[in-house]
Chain A
């Protein structure tokens, strides 16, 4: 068994796709029309067989209050691993991305948190051990 797909809830699938591909460098793994929405997943191009992220619409009424409460407290929805948190921070800042937490050395890891522009906070993590 392997972890195949995890979901994040986004305000708008197309906007999320643009952000996750052009700003973060993911590639489309699946894009299947599904009525009003799409089954839309992305994957790390360096690991095409790796875990996919499904960009899920916030269709269920329980989702917005749940996601909004996490964002209000600055809690990231998921973690993306990077080689150099400081370099990614500067690159994303230059693209106009907002960070709620700049790169911070918290011991075994340097973490930063940014706004993905479609309703979530995402954590960057650089392992330092």
Chain B
């Protein structure tokens, strides 16, 4: 199990979350295309898969089958634990 802190410690993984937040349910091909063409990141597919695995272990991304292909969906719920651990001063009793 990878915690959310490690998962979001990497710029590429943060970017993957940004990309999925813009449009959910993307295939590996689509994520790789966006990273390379829009953001100039020339990562191998294997590298992107490894980043997605880390995000998935932290519960921030889920991979689901849609018939013959797999899509990745974002789930930002685990990020709430950051705000729970360090709430803004004065915002909580």
Residues on A facing B (Cβ under 8 Å): 68, 71-76, 98, 100-101, 104, 106-107, 111, 113, 115, 119, 121
Contacts and interface: CB of A to CB of B under 8 A. Distances in A.
Interface of B: 26-30, 33-34, 37-38, 45, 65-71
A111 B30 CA distance: 10
A121 B69 contact: yes
B28 A73 contact: yes
Question: Interface of chain A, helix or strand or loop or mixed?
Answer: mixed
Contacts of A115: 67-69
Nearest to B48: A73
B27 A104 contact: no
Contacts of B34: 104, 106
A76 B68 CA distance: 13
22 contacts: A71-B69, A72-B65, A73-B28, A73-B69, A73-B70, A74-B26, A74-B27, A74-B29, A74-B30, A74-B71, A75-B28, A75-B29, A100-B27, A100-B66, A101-B26, A101-B33, A106-B37, A113-B30, A115-B67, A119-B68, A121-B29, A121-B69
Given A100-B69, A121-B69, A74 B28 contact: yes
Contacts of B67: 98, 115
Nearest to A68: B68
Given A73-B45, A74-B28, A104 B68 contact: no
A119 B6 CA distance: 38
A72 B33 CA distance: 16
A121 B65 CA distance: 15
A74 B69 contact: yes
B30 A101 contact: yes
A3 B70 CA distance: 33
B26 to A, nearest CB: 7
